[in-house]
Structures are given as structure tokens and as C-alpha cells.
Chains A and B, each alone.
Chain A
Amino acid sequence: MGRYLARRIIYLVVQVFCVATIVFLLLRLVPGDPARAVLGENATGEQVATVRHQLGLDRPLLIQYGRWMGHIVRGDFGASILSGRPVLTDVRQRIGNTIELIVLSTFISLLVGIPLGIIAALRANRTEDYTLSSAAMLGLSLPSFVVGSVLLLIFALKLHWLPPSQFVSWQENPGQHITLLVLPVVTLAASTTAVILRMTRSAMLEVIRQDYIRTARAKGLGERVILLRHALRNAVNPVVSVTGLELASLLGGTVIVETIYGWPGLSSLLLSGVRSRDYPVVQGVVLVIAVLTILINLLVDLAYGVLDPRIRHE
């Protein structure tokens, strides 16, 4: 396990290095002059030269690359062209808000998706299964911007049970912060729950047809023990795998939810960076999200070994 971990960490470092290189090249892939893309067609030559200097584009490519890597290693992501604030300051302020959304929605998806997936598998091809599978298909097909808008309309604007789009930090008012989290988390959880439900159902169906489940039943073990200790334990790996993929995709997918609910997270920062072509912001946020994705993938791989001793990572 130790050797596997060391190898994975080396691979992780190489991957992060590659991702940083791609993010560096991002600015150089912009068709035409990135400085003019930032400022628009009406900018003067002097303004363009200033932004070119600010972006470091007035130096040879290798020097630019060396400086970029040097800065990144020291945690310096540059400053926003529009606000002049260090990108890392904005990232630090917002990263917690995005992680909070992702972790809570994944937790709720697991809490709801796994039991419902088990029920669907145990009642396969009966009414309960058809109902749950149809609901999951609906969850997969519903765009988050439709779910978000509908939930906002019903629970915030019509019933007034929950506050509409705004943000209050945990430090300001913990109670209000939690109430404000409900709608964004439920919106994000809708499709993730559907994915986890379908995967749990499929994995459980595969496992409960195995001989050892029949043997366990034949030797008189209780259904609960069979289900939790024999079936679920063996069905959990594909669920972990799909949860990891969903977590990673949520990192990019929060952009819509953050837009609908005015939630100041990383994705909304990225979106404003893309809209205004504020490249240092785009580069900084993309790098942080990519590194988080790589870390999630590593944790998922390690979780396989913990949950299934047959996978020893040798």
C-alpha cells in the first residue's frame, strides 16, 4: 500500500505539473492578441502594451513559462486585470463556499441514492422499482437550471418557505447560511442522486444473484445481515467510483447553481473571469479546480482498497 501511495503521489505531482503547463498555454492559445481580447478592439496601443506587460506576454515564451511555474510554486496566481486583487485572495474567499455545496450535495445524494437503489434492486421489475427508476431517469434528464429555477419559484417566491437568491456567510449568521444552502444543495443533488441510485441498483442486482448470497440465505442468516454485510459491501465499489466521478463533475458543474442562487463560489468567479476575459482569474481558478479533481480521483482510488480488501494496490 505504501509503495502504491508513493507511486500515486509521484504521478499526482507530474499530473499537476502538466495541468499547470496546460493552464499556462491557455493564454497563448487565444487567437490573436490576448491583451486586445481583454481590452476590446477600441483599446489604444499603449493600453494593449500595459496589459501585455501585466500578463507577462512581452517576454520570450520560455522565460514566461519559468516565471509562471515559479510563481505558482510560491502560491502566487497573479492579480485580476479588472479588480487588481490577487487571484489567490479571491480563490481563498470562495473555495469554501463551493466545497460546502459539493460535499453537502454528495452526502445527501449518497444518503438518498443508496437506500433507494437497494430498494429498487430488491423489488426489481415491480412497481417500486419502476417508480424509482423512472424518477431517476427524470432526475438525469432534468437540467440543473430548470430544477433550480423551479425550486426557487415554488419554495422561495411562491411559498416563501426559504429565502430567495442571496448569500449570507456562516460567520455573519449561521442559521441563515444553512437555510440559504438548502435550495442550491438540493438542485445539485438531484442528478447526482439519480446517478447513484441507478448505479446502486445495478450493482446490487448483480451481487444478489451471486451464489454466496444464496448460500448465506440457505444457512439462515437474517436479511439485514445478508444485505448490509454480504451484498452492499460487494456492491459498493462501483458506487464509490461513480460518486468520485460525480464529485469531480460537480466541481465544474456548480457554475449553473452558483449563477441561479447568486452563490459566491469558485465557479461564479471563473464565469466572471471568462466573460470579461480576465485571464489571470481564469488560469488561477482552473488550476485550483483541476488540482482538486486530481485529489478526488486519488482519494477514490485509495477508497477502493479500504472498502474492498481484495484490491491491495500492489
Chain B
Amino acid sequence: MPTAARAQDALAEAVFTRRPRSFMYDAWRGLLRSRSAIAGGVVLALLILLAIIAPLISSYDPTAVALRTRLQPPSASHFFGTDEFGRDILTRVFYGARISLPVGLIALAIGVSLGTLVGLIAGFYGKAVDALLMWMVDVLLAFPGLLLALLVVAILGVDLRNVMIAVGVSMIPRFARLVRGTVLSAKENLYVDAARAIGVPERRILVRHVLPNVISPVIVLGTLSLGVTILTAAGLSFVGLGAKPPSPEWGAMIAEGRQFLQRQWWIGTFPGVAILLTVLAVNLIGDGLRDALDPRMRV
């Protein structure tokens, strides 16, 4: 076989046997193109690592009272100083990541799963189901984010678990609307008509052919919303409706530091910086993902 023909075959084989690029591959490549997203990823990974290895890198107990060392400024033995009960702020910030990050993530998971479910059903089944579900979402939208969260806490009571539910519920409308819109356009695709024509059951069409279209925008909006859920949950703890003392939750720590703002600035400042870094990192990753996967949403 001549060399040119062999090269053609090799090319054809390479082209036709190449696996289609996966969604994860696109997302990863897109993220690697954005320097700010990489910076956000590094900061977030570091925060998660510190949260995991907190007991290994700090010998202090995050909740034990040590009155002898109370209100000490940052020093070699306490890098971030101590609070009114003598607890090491640095240790509490590390342990706080074990609360604030999962709280934000679980709240987001509640909002994403319920919102996606509502949007999928409304968009796919249409007509009365769509009208009813979207009308319910519209009514929910009359209660702006934090208000809805406050309302849920008012019903369920003051508790960190209820904060997660509250913040999650306040996230439902944005995901429901996004998913419904995506489903409405996805179900117009020819392959959906083809699947229906060959007798594929509706539920299977929904799961196998429509749902994959929703994943990319939901991941983008989900990443962009993680900062909001972390901030809202910390905000609820800040106003005393979330984590209770002596929990090292960041919002609650900032609230504790308020009365010492003038003289012992370090008590509230370092948890504040931790929240800022976390939300900034998440937002940078979210922006990078959005640019990579769904440039139409670019702001």
C-alpha cells in the first residue's frame, strides 16, 4: 500500500475511532484556559485540604475554653490571636471550613435537586403541569432569597440543619426556571422526536435524551450559586439563626467578634477573610466554567 494511502487510513481511523469529547473534558480544558479559575481552584483546594488536616496541623481544641489565653493578639503561638474564651482563632477558622463549606454545598444540593426536578417536569410535560409548577415558582419568587430562608427558619426553628434546608429552598426558583427553559428547547430536538417515534417511553426520553442537555447549564449556575449559598448560610448564622456557640462556623465567629471590633479586631477579621477567600475562589471557578461551557451566560 502506498504511503499516502496508509496515511489516509491512519487519519480516517484516528478521526472515526476518536471518542467524542466528554463534558468533563470540555469543562476541564476550559478551566485550564482561565488563569483566574486556576487561582480560584488552588485557593479552594487549599481551604479544603486545611479543613481536612485541621487536627494534624493544630494542637488546639477549637471549642475548649482557655481563659488564661483570652483575647491575645496575633503572635507566634497564636497566628490569628485568640477570642474571649481563649480559643485559637486560626484553629477555629480551619475547623470552621468543615462547617461552612459542607453547609453551602448541602444547601446548594437541595436547591439544585429540587429546582432541577421541578424544571424538568414543568418543561417536559408542559401544559397544566408546567403552568401549575411555574406559577408556584413565581409565587416563591415573591419572597426574595434571604427572606425565604428566614421564613423557613421561622417555621422549622433555629438550627444549622434548618439553615441548610432554608438556603436550599431559596435556591429552588433559579434552578427551576433555568432547567425549564433548557428542557423546552431540548425537547424540540429531532432526536427526541425520533425516540418518541420508535416508541421509547416518555420517562426514558426525559432521563436519557433531555436530562443530559440540562447538566451543563446547571453545573455552571450551581458553581456560580455556591458562593451565594455559603454567604447566605453564614449570614443567617451571623444574625443568630444558624450555628450556635461554641460552633466555629465563620458567620457566627464574625458575630462574636463584633463586640470586640475596636480593640480585638482579629476575632472577627480572620473568619471574614476566610469567607471572602472561599466565595472569591468559588466565584472565579464559576466564571471560568461559565466561559468554558456556556458563554451565552457571560456577564
Instruction: Please report A residues at the B interface, Cβ cutoff 8 Å.
Output: 15, 18-19, 22, 26, 29-31, 37, 137-138, 140-146, 149-150, 152-153, 157-158, 198-199, 201-202, 248-253, 255-256, 259-260, 270-271, 273-275, 277, 279, 282, 286, 289-291, 293-294, 297
Contact = CB atoms under 8 A, between A and B. Distances in A.
A91 to B, nearest CB: 14
A274 B142 contact: no
Interface of B: 135, 138-139, 141-148, 150-151, 153-158, 227, 231, 234-235, 238-241, 251, 254-255, 257-258, 261-262, 265, 268, 272, 275-276, 279-280, 283-284, 287, 298-299
A18 B132 CA distance: 12
Contacts of B155: 26, 29-31
A214 B6 CA distance: 51
Nearest to B148: A252
A293 B145 CA distance: 11
A19 B139 contact: yes
A141 B147 contact: no
Contacts, number: 136
The A contact surface, by secondary structure, is helix
Contacts of A144: 235
B258 A141 contact: no
Contact of B150 (A138, A146, A157, A255): A255
A274 B158 CA distance: 9
A201 B148 CA distance: 30
B235 A145 contact: yes
A143 B279 contact: yes
Given A26-B155, A137-B283, A290-B142, A157 B262 contact: yes
Q: Which 8 pairs show the lowest CB-CB distances between chains A and B?
A: A252-B147, A252-B144, A146-B272, A141-B280, A252-B146, A141-B279, A290-B142, A274-B154
Contacts of B144: 248-253, 289, 293
B157 A149 contact: no
B235 A256 contact: yes
Given A146-B276, A149-B254, A293-B142, A251 B262 contact: no
Nearest to B138: A15
Contacts of A26: 151, 154-155
A256 B139 CA distance: 24
A141 B227 contact: yes
A181 to B, nearest CB: 20
A199 B299 CA distance: 6
